[in-house]
Amino acid sequence: MALTLTLLGTSASRPTVERNVSSMALTRDGDTMLFDCGEGTQRQMMRYGVPFALGDIFFTHFHADHVIGVIGLMRTMALQGRTEELRLWGPPPAARHLRRAEQFGVDRLTFPVRIHELQPGERIPRRDYAIVAFAVEHGPGAAMGYALVEEERKGRFDPERARELGIPEGPLWGRIHRGESVTLDDGRVVEPAELVGPLRSGRTVVITGDTRPSENTVAAARGADLLVHEATFGDEEAERAVETGHSTAREAAVVARRAGCKRLLLTHFSARYSRSAGELETQARAEFDAVTIGRDGMEIEVPFTA
């Protein structure tokens, strides 16, 4: 089952010619969800093939470069006659900010909008995964990151062993794989442990939004398959990163290393850095090897590792 992250905007504060402001889409088994929705996000979605038929938008915080795009996006959804509910999630005061966005320039929405204010640690359960909110550190207002955490998957079924035991291929295999013990025609009872391996871990993707390096991120991203961390600045702006509640690329890489992440994707770059942001990559790589500099339109597949 594919789990794909698409970066829709990778610039901090304002767009540049090459980079739009913050937004990314996660797509999993037909579910698409957005994380942040900076100005111009709807056009980026068209450009990079992200469907408008999404159910959830998660906001990391309510700085303008992460939220203004939701006004235009909801308006387009209404023009298209959308009727399905749209759920908007974020830290307090999400309701105040998002009600305003809902009213602004959108006279008649054709669909219900449900706004949920989240507390750190809150878990939004879905069929076989959950979105978990965690507090990050981005100045005085509330800001949060999100982790998509998949449930464990069934262990591997051993078809050769099943044949050796004379269990006919078919529905019995499925029942054993689901954890049932079955009785064969000759009276033998087969326990699932004989044929099915241990549970296999699901995937975890963690998105920080804007933040200083945070212990909460280290905890949320422990062993994560993919950590998407902001990297607004390079080493030479380390003080500015502290003052403005942001991270340097190197600091983000240290978080990834400490958390034991498999892969780090950097985003939210100050407009001062070039398209390749080569110096940020070098600085990050000094701390953590598996790092990728994000760019608009980049798609990252997150594979199963077990």
Segment near Zn ion (CB under 5 A); pick from 61-69, 71-79, 118-126, 168-176: 61-69
Q: Find out whether 56 and 87 touch, Cβ atoms under 8 Å.
A: yes
39 binds Zn ion (CB under 5 A): no
- Beta carbon nearer to Zn ion, 21 or 300: 21
Segment near Zn ion (CB under 5 A); pick from 42-50, 59-67, 88-96, 253-261: 59-67
**Residue 74 burial (CB count, 10 A):** 26
In sequence order, what are the beta bridge partners of 189? Answer: 183
Amino acid symbol at 137? E
Q: Is the dihedral of CA 161, 166, 169, 174 positive or negative?
A: negative
Residue 64 C-beta: closest distance to Zn ion, Å: 9
| Site pattern 64..93 for Zn ion (x: CB under 5 A) | -x----------------------------
Counting other chains too, the contacts that 170-173 makes at CB distance below 8 Å and 24 or more residues apart are: none
Residues that bind Zn ion (rule: CB under 5 A) add up to a total of: 3
Q: Find out whether 159 and 195 touch, Cβ atoms under 8 Å.
A: no
- Beta carbon nearer to Zn ion, 63 or 263: 63
SS3 112: coil
The single residue listed with the structure tokens 């044929």 is: 195
- Beta carbon nearer to Zn ion, 32 or 247: 247
Residue 146 C-beta: closest distance to Zn ion, Å: 15
Q: Find out whether 265 and 227 touch, Cβ atoms under 8 Å.
A: yes
In sequence order, what are the beta bridge partners of 155? Answer: none
**What is the 8-class DSSP label of residue 148?**
E
- Beta carbon nearer to Zn ion, 202 or 234: 234
- Cα–Cα dist 42/142, whole Å: 25
63 binds Zn ion (CB under 5 A): yes
Residue 42 C-beta: closest distance to Zn ion, Å: 18
Query: In the structure, how many helices (H) and strands (E) does the chain have?
Result: 10, 16
Q: What are phi and psi of 53, to 5 degrees?
A: -80, 65
86-90 and 56-58 beta bridge pairing: parallel
- Beta carbon nearer to Zn ion, 32 or 267: 267
- Beta carbon nearer to Zn ion, 6 or 60: 60
Residue 136 C-beta: closest distance to Zn ion, Å: 10
Segment near Zn ion (CB under 5 A); pick from 56-64, 72-80, 99-107, 147-155: 56-64
Residue 12 C-beta: closest distance to Zn ion, Å: 5
Q: What are phi and psi of 176, to 5 degrees?
A: -65, -40
296 binds Zn ion (CB under 5 A): no
The catalytically annotated residue of 65, 210, 225, 296 is 65
Residue 141 C-beta: closest distance to Zn ion, Å: 8
| Site pattern 131..170 for Zn ion (x: CB under 5 A) | ----------------------------------------
Which residues within the stretch 204-233 sit at the binding site for Zn ion (CB under 5 A)? 210
107 is catalytic: no
Amino acid symbol at 224? A
The single residue listed with the structure tokens 């502290």 is: 242
Binding site for Zn ion (CB under 5 A): 63, 65, 210
- Residues serving a catalytic function are 65
